Structure 1
Amino acid sequence: MPWLHPGRVAALQSALAQRILVIDGAMGTMIQRHELQEADYRGERFAQGYDALFAPEASHTHGPGCGCQAHDQRGNNDLLTLTRPDLIRGIHDAYLAAGADLVETNTFNSTAISLADYHLTHLVRELNREGAKLARAACDAAGARTPDKPHFVIGVLGPTSRTASLSPDVNRPGFRATSFDQLADAYREAAGGLIEGGADVLMVETVFDTLNAKAALFAIDDAFAAAGGRLPVMISGTITDASGRTLSGQTAEAFWYSLRHARPLSIGLNCALGARDLRPHIDVLARIADVAVSTHPNAGLPNAFGGYDETPEDMAGVLHVFAAAGLLNLVGGCCGTTPAHIAAIAEAVRGLPPRALPQLEAAA
């Protein structure tokens, strides 16, 4: 199957062969700085009351007793793509100005499973399409200023709010709140929107359950078939605690071997831990994976108030050691990171060679 954007894919592969590429930082952290209220999330489009949020073809009546009428949207960051595109575009622009080569779409929760919590499943395709368009416009504008340095859009597919491998009910260990087919359906719709909106890469990220990731990869293949071409795919898992395992119980090594059949552009780890705590797990991936290795860790561990205290300088210093040891091809930030963190990380890895890959050496 051909590449959907062969020129951009070739540019990305060339850039990976030459240097360590920088991914942007946290979207949620930047949104939280604006201290938005319910009206901000609703914007003009959804300001006329709760009914405006629902599909016009909804089969039931939203009367006074309907629970969804009273459902708040505050905290639904993905909705801001439609109601505050200026804010989301501004965040993309800030990360690009800080030195990011790749920016992630504001679509972490834009699947039918996660959006069901907000009663917005009918917006899935639109949120993904428009999220990709916003990031695409930001990258194109940055590329026009620096034609020798292309910028790329990562279409983000988050883990969803449900797990296929574990029961949410301790009294019913065999119960599952979702199924492989339901997850695949959700991911297929989201991936189609990201492709339509102009993403350069799709990333299945913050994977805590490998079965969820397998459903995503299965659905992505379907979406590629429908589009008549492929995009590169990145996979990034999350080691949830000091056990060194994902929530579904896999080590970094097992995680890679469970998903290598998808032949991703990269495998990596993000979220949950800071860079220091991720080091041994990135060491493992760098040793065994025959694709690019990425990491975008948190700015340390959360403090007692749920915030992140690791400074840009401290985080960049740790990741410089990763890069100098030849462990990285792509690096960025997750929770708690800001454009200041990304600027410091970009400077810390500047001039250091990317982790050597046989296929990249041949391409170079």
Structure 2
Amino acid sequence: MSRPPRILDGGTGTGLQEAGIAIAEPWLTSAALRDEAGVAALLGVHTGFLRSGSDVLTANTFRTNTRALARMGVAEADRPGYVRRAVDCAVAARAAAGTPHALVAASVAPVEDCYTPSLTPDDDALRREHRWMAGVLADSETDLVLVETQCTRREAVIAVEAAVERGLTAWVSFVVTGAAQLPDGDSLREAARACVEAGAAAVSANCFPHAAVPRALDQLGGLGAAVGVYPNLEDRAALDEWEHSAHSLPPALTPEAFAGLARRWSAEYELAFVGGCCGTGPAHIGALAGLPVGAAS
């Protein structure tokens, strides 16, 4: 490898849950953006990951698309403010942590549900809504757009196109099954290829079992784009495959075990970035970054 992989942060939702913020419908992670106390908690989550070694910080824009905010009762004129507040909080965390070289990635999720492809709207609605998000982000201090937890090729391509049209760098990441397919049965490789053709600079998989990481990474190489991965680290043995938990779940891997796996994936697949999704805390990121367990803050 010409350089070590960038280290992503962990689960923003997990951190907010541990800070006492309920992650429940309809607000989910956007609950932290409603008031000063929530934003302060979010700032603490971001800063903790940066001080643990993350050099790519994901802004809490995951559930700030116009459709989600409308469902929450947010007036149309106020919706861009939620996106900007999330990005501004990440930028402030970068300054507070003293990590000026860390990248701020704006999260762009499916406009409906990440795990239910049948809910994906038609192409016209997708283009309209992803262009809205890209337009707001183009006027923010985000360094790149992370089109993530995508469950259909169709929406992922449209979201990447919307970002690229506004001059934004786009990375794309798909949620996949244990067999490393998209939830609708589509091929991860072909979905990633379509996104690269649409302008994605990197391809990845996220929020899926860590045991399936090699199967996913086998499909992502050789497409002319950087490759990364950030699996779900929650112990979900008592839940159905895509079942949501309003409370934080214990991690399935210790920080040392996760760091060992992640270093192996990075070396074998020459990853450009690696991290964790739900269930991943600062200690996991600190172990990955080479900090002693317990030094993460």
Counterpart in the other structure of 2:82:
127
1:20-59 alignment runs, 5 A limit: 20-36=5-21
CA RMSD in angstroms comes to 2.5
Counterpart in the other structure of 1:335:
278
Determine whether 1:236 maps to 2:173. yes
Counterpart in the other structure of 2:154:
211
Q: In structure 1, how many angstroms separate the alpha carbons of the residues matched to 2:2 and 2:134? A: 27
Task: Please tell me whether the aligned partners of residues 10 and 277 of structure 2 are also in contact (alpha carbons under 8 angstroms).
Answer: yes
Structure 1 residue 233 displacement after superposition: 1.0
Q: In structure 2, how many angstroms separate the alpha carbons of the residues matched to 1:73 and 1:263? A: 33
Task: Please tell me whether the aligned partners of residues 22 and 102 of structure 1 are also in contact (alpha carbons under 8 angstroms).
Answer: yes
Structure 1 residue 17 displacement after superposition: 5.7
Structure 1 residue 19 displacement after superposition: 2.4
Code of the aligned partner of 1:20: P
Among 7, 28, 39, the residue aligned to 1:85 = 39
CA distance 1:146–1:108, change in 2 (3 Å): closer
CA distance 1:82–1:192, change in 2 (3 Å): farther
Code of the aligned partner of 1:18: R
Code of the aligned partner of 1:252: L
After alignment, is 131-140 or 151-160 more displaced? 131-140
Identical-pair percentage: 26
Structure 1 residue 75 displacement after superposition: 4.8
Determine whether 1:280 maps to 2:215. yes
Among 175, 194, 200, the residue aligned to 1:258 = 194
What is the number of equivalent residue pairs in this alignment?
278
Counterpart in the other structure of 1:106:
60
Counterpart in the other structure of 1:158:
109
Counterpart in the other structure of 1:138:
93
Task: Please tell me whether the aligned partners of residues 131 and 194 of structure 1 are also in contact (alpha carbons under 8 angstroms).
Answer: no
Which protein has the larger Cα radius of gyration, Structure 1 or Structure 2?
Answer: 1
Code of the aligned partner of 2:231: P
Determine whether 1:76 maps to 2:28. yes
Counterpart in the other structure of 2:294:
none
Q: In structure 2, how many angstroms separate the alpha carbons of the residues matched to 1:298 and 1:90? A: 21
Task: Please tell me whether the aligned partners of residues 19 and 41 of structure 2 are also in contact (alpha carbons under 8 angstroms).
Answer: no
Task: Please tell me whether the aligned partners of residues 178 and 208 of structure 2 are also in contact (alpha carbons under 8 angstroms).
Answer: no
CA distance 1:188–1:98, change in 2 (3 Å): same
Q: In structure 2, how many angstroms separate the alpha carbons of the residues matched to 1:326 and 1:215? A: 27
Instruction: Describe the SS at the equivalent of 2:63.
Output: coil
Q: In structure 1, how many angstroms separate the alpha carbons of the residues matched to 2:234 and 2:257? A: 9
Q: In structure 2, how many angstroms separate the alpha carbons of the residues matched to 1:334 and 1:193? A: 25
Q: In structure 1, how many angstroms separate the alpha carbons of the residues matched to 2:81 and 2:103? A: 20
Task: Return 5+ residue gaps in structure 1 as ranges.
Answer: 1-15, 42-71, 169-176, 225-229, 349-364
Task: Please tell me whether the aligned partners of residues 272 and 301 of structure 1 are also in contact (alpha carbons under 8 angstroms).
Answer: no
Task: Please tell me whether the aligned partners of residues 160 and 199 of structure 2 are also in contact (alpha carbons under 8 angstroms).
Answer: no
Instruction: Describe the SS at the equivalent of 2:178.
Output: coil
Counterpart in the other structure of 1:293:
227
Code of the aligned partner of 1:205: E
Structure 1 residue 158 displacement after superposition: 0.7
